[in-house]
């Protein structure tokens, strides 16, 4: 079983996954992850409206002036569902479309010469829609993009969604697409294997 990852210490090219029990835990982990990027680089959040609001509130309580960060381009927010619709063909991610949608955001952020941290939950939306293999493919596409651009990425899945023997193969693939795992699904029969690229 992999060691618990510290998402705050994710390196400049690390792709980390967190399995979370509830929205409170997710908001805490993501806020910790984004905090340094908003202060010293660029943070890109690709999430649902409710999660974007939760992260924003926590970042502001931590002393971040998000209005100024948004104006400066150091805090970018995108809707996960809308962004995903830009690269899905039917129920499958199209690699060329994924590149056209995501790459310009990263290129712009990386062009500032500062660290770039991305939080994304498009994969969780795909998984929850019954498209686990499409979620795995998006994880692979992120890794391909990371070969061209320097950024760290934190993905998140609700632990309950990925638990169960019927998800074991796809869950193993998800974990293998990441360099580190934070949290684990609650079903011990579905514990993921060691992550790695």
How does pLDDT run across 98-109, given as a tens digit for each residue? 999 999 999 988
Strands 88-89 and 92-93: antiparallel
Name beta bridge partners: 117. 43, 152
What CATH number corresponds to the domain at position 161?
3.40.50.300
Whole domain around residue 85: which residue ranges?
7-187
Per the CB < 8 A criterion, the answer to whether 174 and 36 are in contact is no
DSSP designation for 9: G
DSSP designation for 34: H
Comparison of pLDDT for 36 and 42, the residue scoring more: 42
Tell me which of 3-7, 26-30, 37-41, 172-176 is least confident: 3-7
In a domain, 76, yes or no: yes
In a domain, 74, yes or no: yes
How many structural domains are present in the chain? 1
Confidence band (pLDDT; 50, 70, 90) for 12? Answer: low
CA-CA-CA-CA torsion sign (182, 188, 194, 196) = negative
**pLDDT of 154 above 90:** yes
- Structural tokens at position 173: 């693939």
pTM: 0.88
């Amino acid at each position: 079983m992999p060691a618990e990852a510290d998402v705050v210490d994710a390196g400049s090219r690390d792709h980390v996954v967190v399995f979370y029990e509830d929205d409170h835990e997710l908001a805490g982990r993501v806020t910790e992850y984004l905090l340094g990027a908003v202060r010293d680089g660029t943070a890109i959040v690709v999430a649902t409206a409710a999660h974007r609001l939760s992260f924003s509130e926590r970042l502001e309580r931590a002393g971040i002036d998000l209005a100024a960060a948004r104006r400066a381009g150091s805090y970018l927010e995108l809707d996960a569902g809308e962004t995903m619709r830009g690269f899905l063909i039917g129920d499958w991610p199209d690699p060329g479309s994924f590149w056209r949608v995501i790459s310009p955001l990263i290129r712009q952020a990386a062009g500032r010469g500062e660290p770039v941290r991305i939080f994304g939950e498009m994969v969780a939306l795909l998984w929850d829609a019954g498209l686990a293999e499409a979620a795995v493919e998006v994880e692979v596409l992120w890794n391909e993009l990371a070969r061209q651009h320097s950024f760290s990425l934190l993905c998140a899945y609700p632990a309950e969604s990925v638990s169960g023997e019927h998800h074991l193969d796809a869950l193993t693939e998800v974990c293998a697409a990441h360099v580190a795992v934070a949290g684990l699904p609650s079903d011990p029969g579905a514990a993921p294997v060691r992550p790695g690229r």
